[in-house]
Amino acid sequence: MRLGKFLSKTAIMSVLAAACLGSTAMAADVIGTGTVEGDSLRVRSEASTASSIVTYLTDKTQVEVYEDLGDWYKVGWGGHTGYVSADYLVYTPAAASTSSSAPAPAAARIDGDPGVITGAGVNFRVSPSTDAQAITQLARHTDITVVEPRDDGWCQIGFGGQTGYVKSDYVSVNGIPLVDPKGIITGDCVNLRATPSTDGAIVTKLSYGETVDLVSLDDGWYSISYNGASGFVSADYLRVDDGSNPVSSIGASVVESAMKYLGTPYAYGGASGKGFDCSGFTMYIYSLHGYSLPHSATSQWNSSGVYVEKSDLQPGDLVLFNDPARNAGKACSHVGIYIGDNQFIHSSSSRSGGVIISSLGENYYSSYYKGAKRVG
């Protein structure tokens, strides 16, 4: 018998991943340590979402940090190196872990309001100054206790049994940022009502992508002000603007255009109203709005727009899939356009009826979902 028949696919992939990751990081200077937050963190060959994925790290994996690049960290583990997004790594500087002058732990109970960190790699410091020692860095979406917002741009918080300070720009309480809270309307012709109820009188209507001032959030309704008017908007149609994922300027229009071609036949290589393949459909729809996309799902993944998390999907975003049985060795096998409510429109196949609407929750699309890109 041949030994090759007994090599598992997993073992082969491990060898290939090790080769892709390259040489060991023994010569690199360690500036701190990091802990992975989230399942299947992508490790990339370069500090860019456009670079190749060389492997994945699981939740709570410990790594060494060699470079802090702002939105990215260069990390090492098991003799290998790569780059990971700062959003999903809790970074502890070497000085913080070895310094004898670290602050004494606070009492086990820290009183205050529940809050959330809204920035990536936010320094948690011993005193309200950028010159103060950093206790650690906090990843976006980290839960904290807000002890006291200050007038000097700092906020005293509690985290991990300690109290310290972070810039107020990166803190939200009850879904509202502490500093200059803004919201972005995510629906079209959204009602601004006089009271927080669907029975409330309509003050005016707000368009997709409009920026409004946030006042408070209560029971699923935001109290807002806009162009001198004030009222309430359902939380279903507003996203807090934390600067992480800008609203597409053309999303609603793209969806409107795409819906006009519902039922158009599937045609391999097609990119016109007579028939589309999957990437031909997205390419054609975006061309109607002045954007030039390549005629390939993989190329649209590699070169079009900016990457967005699944939790941040907005109408008009490209959603891409990778079924290894259908991708011919490429990065993606299929692409469509997100339309909201966990649904997307796409040119599926002749058997399925051409341009149809499907749910991201369907077993096939859930299993082979690769990611999303925002264009415009």
Domain at 99-177: CATH architecture: Roll (2.30)
Asked if 375 and 291 touch (Cβ cutoff 8 Å), the reply is yes
Give tens-digit pLDDT for 27-65: 457 888 888 887 677 888 888 888 877 777 777 777 888
pLDDT digits (tens, 9 = 90+) for 350-373: 888 899 999 999 999 999 999 999
Who's near 216: CB < 8 A, 6+ residues apart?
174, 176, 222, 223
Strands 72-77, 62-68: pairing kind:
antiparallel
Q: How far apart are CA 167 and CA 28, in angstroms?
A: 31
A 10 A CB-CB count for 315 gives 25
On the question of a common fold for 99-177 and 182-240, the answer reads yes
Fold of 182-240: SH3 type barrels. (2.30.30)
- Tell which residue, 299, 257, 301, has the closest CA to residue 281: 257
Please give the Cα distance from 140 to 162 (Å, whole number): 18
Q: Which two tokens stand for residue 213?
A: 């001032």
When the candidates are 3.40.50.720, 3.90.1720.10, 3.40.718.10, 2.150.10.10, the CATH number that belongs to 251-374 is 3.90.1720.10
- Annotated catalytic residues are 278, 334, 346
pLDDT greater at residue 244 or residue 139: 139
pLDDT tier for residue 88 given thresholds of 50, 70 and 90: confident
Yes or no: is domain 3-89 CATH 2.30.110.10?
Answer: no
- In tens, the pLDDT along 269-318 reads 999 989 999 999 999 999 999 899 999 999 999 887 888 888 888 889 99
Nearest to 126 by CA among 152, 88, 98, 159: 159
Highest mean pLDDT out of 2-16, 184-198, 245-259: 184-198
Q: Which residues pair with 249 in a beta bridge?
A: none
Rounded distance between C-alpha atoms, residue 137 and residue 88, angstroms: 11
Residue at token pair 């670290």: 102
pLDDT classification of 105: cutoffs 50, 70, 90 = very low
Rounded Cα gap, residues 125 and 134, in angstroms: 4
- CB–CB of 113/78 below 8 Å? no
Q: Which residue intervals of the chain are DSSP H helices?
A: 9-21, 94-98, 251-259, 278-287, 297-303, 363-368
Interatomic CA distance for residues 293 and 139, integer angstroms: 33
With 0-12 CB in 10 A as exposed, 13-18 as middle and 19+ as buried, what is 230?
A: middle
* Element containing residue 55 per DSSP (H, E): strand 53-57
Distance, CA of 271 to CA of 196 (rounded, Å): 46
DSSP-based three-state secondary structure for 251: helix
CA dist., res. 154 & res. 290, Å (int): 43
| Domain spans in the chain, listed from the N-terminal domain onward | 3-89, 99-177, 182-240, 251-374
Q: pTM to 2 decimals? A: 0.42
pLDDT in tens, 107-130: 446 778 888 887 777 888 999 998
